[in-house]
Amino acid sequence: QSLSNVLSLGITNVLFLFNSFLQLNILPSFGFLFDIDGVLVRGKTPIPAAKTAFQKLVNSQGQFLVPVVFVTNAGNCLRQKKADQLSHLLGVPVKQVMMSHSPLRMFKRYHEKCVLVSGQGPLLDIARDLGFCQPITIETLREKHPLLDVVDHDRRPNVLVSIYFCFKILSVVLFGEPVRWETNLQLIIDVLLTSGYPGNPYHRENYPHIPVLACNMDLMWVAEAQSPRFGHGTFMVCLENIYKKITGKDLKYEVLMGKPSKLTYQYAEYLIRAQAAERQWKQPIQTLYAVGDNLMTDVYGANLYNRYLEENSRKGSKSRIQAKVAASAAAAHCRSVLVCTGVYNPHAEVPLDTRESITETVFHGHRDFRFDPGLVEPDHIVPDVDAAVDLVFQLENFAPN
């Protein structure tokens, strides 16, 4: 009788283990959207947990075991440079890196037009890589109109001359924070208030102004310093308030790109699906896990996109970015995973009263995004990116070969 009980117990354990094995997934039905600054690196310094996390994400041949896209709000460099910055962790293909300006590839109606580009770094290379044929930098515009930039007395021209500039600027693209803010603010305002003819008198009736396309709304970001640094969102706050003070009207954006915009997550999902199709993973991608360090960009954006996906699911909508790679059914969920290695301070409180959002010291999101306490509540909080990978693998019962 006792032997029979032992055998019965042994068979039960074997069946339990076998059923548990069958429940493990060896093909991914999910994808990762990793932020870079504050999650994988701080400035140029790698975060130790990132290397351990990457070891779990690749096989012995260095191939990713799940679809992964690195989504950064950086906009002042080429994708290849960001990929190179991650090379100390893993050889990351450039097609898996998404910059805040990456969706500009879709805005083909602006590609043939003369556009003023603001930021720093290889702006002309970035613009041309995205498809723009006639980009003009702030520095070039300043050279063509030397009388416009006079805040810095040492940069004022000694001889009063005016160079004829025949091109009409038809739109403004804000890639990222510039170096000389006063120069960029002055010349962008000049372009907006003259309908693209800087040097002409202001005409306040020129409203709405020419299109403004903006990338990267981060008010602050983390580098090696102990406290967050000004980001492009801070520059945008300056531009918006100067325009409002002069005209009495709101600066309007044709499009806002970078987290937390819905457009950014749509494009990231397309890249995830293209990656899965290239690897011939037949399992539909059901869930996106957005791992970031910023409540007002990473968490807000992921939760906002999750709300969009759920609304679309209820309505049965199939609207998606038209892509070269045919995508299967849309993801059902986008889950936010917050790490504590960057901007996020676990000791800071998020206001429960939406009326408190009027205080800029609390709500660091962009002016055009309404504060909603539910959107800055992460689905999961973990110490670092390594813990995030462990958590997701556990939630998905994922056991790769």
pLDDT tens-digit map of 283-326? 899 999 999 999 989 999 999 999 999 998 887 655 554 444 33
Give the 3-state secondary structure percentages of the chain, helix then strand then coil, rounded to 5: 40, 15, 45
CA-CA distance, 247 to 237, in Å (whole number)? 15
Q: What is the CB neighbour count within 10 angstroms for residue 65?
A: 17
Q: What are phi and psi of 68, to 5 degrees?
A: -135, 130
**Residue keyed to tokens 């059914």:** 329
| Three-state secondary structure call for residue 191 | helix
Strands (E) in 26-177, as ranges, are 30-34, 41-42, 45-46, 68-71, 97-98, 114-118, 134-137, 171-174
Rounded mean pLDDT of the chain? 86
CA-CA distance, 264 to 305, in Å (whole number)? 9
Q: What is the mean pLDDT of residues 114-141?
A: 97
Over residues 317-367, the pLDDT tens digits come to 555 544 443 344 478 999 999 999 998 877 765 555 544 443 334 678 899
Going by pLDDT thresholds of 50, 70 and 90, the confidence category of residue 156 is: confident
CA-CA distance, 110 to 118, in Å (whole number)? 16
What does pTM read for this prediction? 0.82
